[in-house]
Amino acid sequence: MALALDSRTPFQKLYRFDAGAPWERLRRTAAEFFESVGVPGTKNEEWRFTSLREFAEHEFAPAQPRDWDGRFGSADPIVVQDALRLVVVDGVFRPDASSPDIPAGLTVGSWSQTKDDPAWRRFGSTVQVDRHPFAALNTACFSEPILVHAAPGATIERPIHLAFVSQRSDAASAVFPRVLVVVGENAEVKILETHSGDGTYFTAPVTEVFVDQNGRLEHTKVQQDSLDAFHIGHVRATQEAGSVYASNAVSFGARLSRNDIDIWLGGEHTETWLNGAYMAFGEQLTDNHTRLDHAMPNCHSFQVYKGILGGAGAGVFNGKIYVHPDAQKTDAKQTNKALLLSPQATINTKPQLEIFADDVKCTHGATVGQLEADSLFYLRSRGIGLAEAQAILTYAFLAEVLEKISLEEVRTALERVVFRQVAKVEPMPEE
């Protein structure tokens, strides 16, 4: 079906208009919106430090379904032995590579496998495409969404691993992973979302999350995309009263990566953890934008983002906390720390607190710096060489965030990645 508007973006070929699908209208609105704004430039305040100029020079083709070689791209695969695994390769769900036995109380699978599940009714209802152009693009382009739905009261012991893989191809391809997560009342789930691949590609994943009353979700998103890839992702979570949502956002890969996490606290007494760990070396740029809407009273949020930047690596952090007039007794803590390992590395960091209630506790702190001289001397005075001492301290800096991930195999695998990366870093000359 032809699109009834003039496309001024290079993404027109990627739009999918499957007539009769329940999201036909959503798609159309999203496509129209994306066409009206296009790829944001650095004059857009939300994209001020993240230039998409190089990205926009590429013409991305729809990913072609191909056989899967079983690899997870250039990154070491993260294997969680007892996880329920769902694999999506080049935009196509692979039931052959996915775990078959699904525990009671849980629905997982692609749209075609799960279309009778009532949770689908919430699909797309909270993603704000007008605020996030690439979420709009995802909505216009995704192929088949994935559902994770825990029924009320279900405690799902096995973690759920959603693995998105892009294989190397001759033409740069684009994929649009789309996930809907619904954690029912009093249900408890752990989700690991991994992104990895080989070669040049573009991925714009959107994960839409609902944590219902007293539900608990630990959501670990690990971005280990190819160093030639572009990753522009969005997570939109809505929490109801008494719920706990812990987001662990890890960005280690991609040429350019941008992760927008928006959380709406729609009930009282919620708890939100936003843990972020990122690395950017060489020419990498990694941008984390978070927005927490404290819309109701008595909600607590704890945010810690830490990054290490080496070579000509660049980091961007923008953490918005919006406390609405009704949200009395809000307790929000935000910390952002970056370590610069080379004179060329940069970080742009911006805490943004907008508070419209008077009885709240909001704190934020941002530090940017080098390793502490006292710590370095302490290690060296015990015989540890300068380069190794710097590597140990750099590793420890990030390990402090990775420790928050409850899945041990994930934590260990990521710690290994960090250790290997920091061991390669040229030691900073002594002052």
| Binding footprint of another protein on the chain (CB under 8 A) | 373-375, 377-386, 388-389, 392-393, 395-400, 403, 430
Considering the complex, state which of residue 215 and residue 307 has its C-beta at the smaller distance from another protein: 307
Q: Least distance in Å: CB of 404 to another protein? A: 12
From residue 347, alpha-carbon distances to 76, 287, 298, 363, 408 in Å are 27, 9, 33, 21, 30
Burial class of residue 237 in the structure, from the number of CB atoms within 10 Å of its CB (0-12 exposed, 13-18 middle, 19+ buried)? buried
CB of 405 to another protein, least distance (A): 14
Least Å from the CB of residue 290 to another protein = 23
For another protein, give the closer residue by CB, 17 or 302: 302
Residue (118 or 429) nearer to another protein, CB: 429
- Nearest distance from C-beta of residue 310 to another protein, angstroms: 18
Shortest Å, Cβ 431 to another protein: 8
DSSP symbol at 425 = S
247 or 390: CB nearest another protein: 390
Q: What gap in Å lies between CA 375 and CA 372, rounded to an integer?
A: 5
Helices 408-424 and 386-402, interaxial angle, to 10°? 150
- Which residues have a Cβ under 8 Å from the Cβ of 57 and sit 6 or more positions away? none
Beta carbon nearer to another protein, 97 or 384: 384
Helix (H, G, I), strand (E, B) or coil at 146: strand
| 112-114-120 Cα angle (round to 5) | 105
Supply the minimum distance, in Å, between the C-beta of residue 272 and another protein. Answer: 23
Please answer whether residues 302 and 331 qualify as being in contact, where contact means their C-beta atoms are separated by less than 8 angstroms: no
- Shortest Å, Cβ 388 to another protein: 7
Q: Judged by CB, which is closer to another protein: 82, or 372? A: 372
Q: How far is the CB of 373 from another protein (least distance, A)?
A: 8
Cα-trace Rg, the chain: 21
| Beta carbon nearer to another protein, 44 or 406 | 406
DSSP 374-401: HHHHHHHTTT--HHHHHHHHHHHHHHHH
Quick one: 356 or 378, whose CB is closer to another protein?
Answer: 378
Q: Is the dihedral of CA 217, 265, 32, 27 positive or negative?
A: positive
CA distances from 18 to 3, 13, 63, 144, 147 (A): 11, 14, 17, 11, 19
Q: Rounded to the nearest whole angstrom, what is the least distance from the CB of residue 397 to another protein in the complex?
A: 7
- Between CA 275 and CA 247 the distance in angstroms is 6
Nearer Cβ to another protein, position 362 or 418?
418
